[in-house]
């Protein structure tokens, strides 16, 4: 990147799959993930995916905590301008508040991910029954907003999976981890975030980037415009170099 940046890069040393439990292959059961989803790799398993399972100049962009009407129009514009597709991990409460934004995301050709109904802290410690009900409620909200759009992925809030990975797989949704994050809930400084994003993408070909286009209820700010503009800085150079932005794998 040619932009001068004033802050040090903070790197994430390990994938964000803390507490992930591996149960082996689980046959998909119900309709949320619709069996083998549109991503490569086959049906859902209970091991969170942390890669695209592709090599070279490939990455997956994932955005948590939307839909957010403050950032979605510009984010969708940036992605379209550079022919990049992404996964949007949606909070059920926000889906009910902003169904039109969900429809815009799907109309633009992006992929949906269930990110729980309320983004509750401690959800990884819930029982299987409670997790199942929460996932079903969230997917029902998404279906109400956008009809038959598939929801092939599930990402647990705060990164601690507990039993949620197994429950998601049983519902046909692949648990979605990440290779790295850029800590965009800590700062919205565009230059800092652009530096982090570009450095991590180059260091992790085939990886999954965890970004935020919204914020959980109670956050100090829902403003994620810095994340969007950081992406707008990074994408032109990477696309000119031949980078492709793919879906995450469908098998852990």
The question of whether 32 is a catalytic residue gets the answer no
Strand extents, DSSP E, 29-181: 58-66, 86-90, 111-114, 153-154, 174-175, 180-181
Residue with tokens 């939307």: 66
Q: Is 31 exposed, middle or buried (0-12, 13-18, 19+ CB in 10 A)?
A: middle
Cα separation, 56 vs 37, in Å, equals: 23
Does residue 124 sit in helix, strand or coil? helix
Among 64, 65, 134, 184, the active-site one is: 64
Please give the Cα distance from 61 to 86 (Å, whole number): 5
DSSP assignment string, 27-57:
---STTTTSS-SSSSSS-BSSPB-B-S--SS
| CA distance linking residue 251 with residue 173, whole number of Å | 10
Nearest CA-CA partner of 245 in 99, 120, 103, 84: 84
Q: Catalytic one among 32, 212, 213, 246?
A: 212
Choose among 210, 136, 208: nearest CA to 167: 136
Q: Which phi and psi (to 5°) does residue 71 adopt?
A: -115, -20
Cα separation, 133 vs 92, whole angstroms: 12
98 catalytically annotated: no
Just list the catalytic residues.
64, 212
């Amino acid at each position: 990147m040619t932009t001068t940046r004033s802050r040090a890069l903070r790197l994430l040393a390990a994938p964000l799959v803390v507490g992930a439990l591996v149960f082996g292959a689980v046959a998909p059961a119900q309709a949320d993930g619709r069996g083998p989803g549109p991503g490569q790799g086959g049906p859902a398993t209970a091991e969170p995916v942390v890669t695209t399972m592709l090599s070279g100049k490939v990455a997956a962009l994932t955005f948590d905590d939307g839909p957010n009407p403050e950032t979605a129009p510009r984010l969708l514009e940036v992605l379209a301008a550079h022919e990049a597709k992404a996964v949007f991990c949606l909070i059920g409460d926000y889906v009910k508040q902003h169904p039109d934004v969900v429809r815009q995301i799907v109309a633009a050709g992006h992929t949906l991910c269930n990110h729980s109904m309320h983004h509750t802290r401690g959800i990884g410690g819930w029982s299987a029954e409670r997790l199942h009900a929460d996932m079903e409620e969230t997917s029902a909200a998404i279906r109400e907003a956008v009809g038959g759009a598939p929801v092939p992925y599930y990402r647990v809030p705060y990164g601690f999976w507990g039993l949620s990975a197994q429950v998601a797989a049983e519902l046909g949704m692949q648990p979605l981890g990440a290779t790295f994050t850029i800590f965009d809930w800590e700062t919205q400084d565009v230059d800092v975030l652009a530096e982090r994003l570009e450095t991590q993408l180059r260091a992790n070909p085939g990886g999954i980037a965890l970004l935020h286009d919204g914020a959980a209820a109670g956050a100090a700010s829902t403003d994620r415009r810095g994340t969007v503009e950081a992406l707008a800085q990074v994408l032109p150079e990477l696309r000119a170099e031949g980078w492709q932005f793919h879906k995450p794998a469908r098998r852990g």
